[in-house]
Amino acid sequence: MQSQHLTISLLLVLMISGLFVQCSYHDDAVIPPKTKLLAEVDVFIWSADSNKFLLSSKTQFLYFNGLLNEKYTYSYGFVAGQKLPTEYLVLYETYRYDQFNRVLKVDDYYFGGTLAEYRFGYNGDQVASVSQYNFAAPGQTFSLVDSANFTITAQSKITQTSISGYVTKSVYAYDSHHNASSITVYNNSGDFIDEEILSYDNHPNPYYRPANNFLSPSYFDLEYFDSPNNITTYIIKNGANPEYTVTYVYEYDSDGYPTTSTSNGEPSQVKEVFKYY
């Protein structure tokens, strides 16, 4: 079960994380205000055979009145008899809001017909719970597969997560900019699983949105979406020594927003290219 948690965490980190500062900002610089909306993220995976980065996926973000309305994710691969990679739509995502602009429901339509639905509960403006329901085929009903409950204060957050019947408890601590600086994970019996240690740059995270309006339904690993800055180092420890370390290097535009990020760490080197409206 520990490896399941590790895999989930690493995949999410590689999808959206942060980088090493490479411009004129200082460590104590004021965080720029959120003024740009993310339009597209292209993900490239390093190929040792080709000795270069190859396009793996592309995600496009569409908004209505400043709120994320739809998201499209395309994958790239080869079809028998073709010499060039082919683009496939693998995920179409829609967002629904209440009168307070809080996300109530996110529907994921996967290639092949599978539907996942995320439903959200709130305590004021803070997300208090999220549940994932899967709908596998016509004629079947939605079945609950994952759920998470959150206890959030100004200084910390506790997440109680049940993923496919496996329960974990994550205790978050924040830095002065409300980035999740550490997450300590326990199983349902209170036994220590691992500690995740994160450091950040001082540039705006393109994935960041306020607590009730966000770019991904994956609130089972909330730190990757509610931290206003970009992760520069991600370390997992299950003892005195690091078990896994990933570092990220960013390039920025003139407004301080990331234009590229490159991760260095197993299982593979990943590069993201960010485009804005």
As averages over each run of 10 residues, the pLDDT of the chain (277 residues) reads: 39 36 40 74 91 92 90 80 72 91 88 81 84 75 81 76 79 87 90 92 84 53 66 88 88 96 83 95
237 beta partners: 195, 242
Please give the class, per CATH, of domain 2-276. Answer: mainly beta
pLDDT digits (tens, 9 = 90+) for 32-71: 555 799 999 999 999 888 889 999 999 999 999 888 899 9
Give the HSE-up count for residue 118: Cα atoms under 13 Å, Cβ half-sphere.
22
Residue in 206, 187, 250 with CA at minimum distance from that of residue 38: 206
- Please say whether the beta carbons of 208 and 225 come within 8 A: yes
Q: What is the pLDDT of residue 267?
A: 65
Q: Where are the alpha helices (DSSP H) in the chain?
A: 2-16, 223-226
Please give the model's pTM, rounded to 2 decimal places: 0.79
Give the HSE-up count for residue 175: Cα atoms under 13 Å, Cβ half-sphere.
19
Q: What percent of the chain has pLDDT over 70?
A: 74
In angstroms, what CA-CA distances link 243 with 47, 147, 193, 195, 266?
25, 27, 12, 10, 11
**What is the DSSP code string of 176-188?**
TTS-EEEEEEEET
